[in-house]
Homo-oligomer: A and B are copies of this chain.
Amino acid sequence: MSDVDAVIERATFDDAGLLPAIIQQWDTKEVLMLGYMNAEALRRTLTEGRVTFWSRSRQEFWRKGDTSGNVQYVKGAALDCDDDTLLVQVDQIGAACHTGARRCFDVDPLDPVIGDPVVGSPTT
Contacts and interface: CB of A to CB of B under 8 A. Distances in A.
A71 interface: yes
Copies in the complex: 2
Nearest to A83: B108
A116 B22 CA distance: 20
A48 B122 contact: yes
A81 to B, nearest CB: 4
Nearest to A88: B112
Nearest to A71: B117
Interface of A: 3, 7, 10, 20, 22, 24, 28-31, 33-34, 45-50, 71-83, 85, 87-88, 90-91, 93, 97-99, 101, 104-117, 121-123
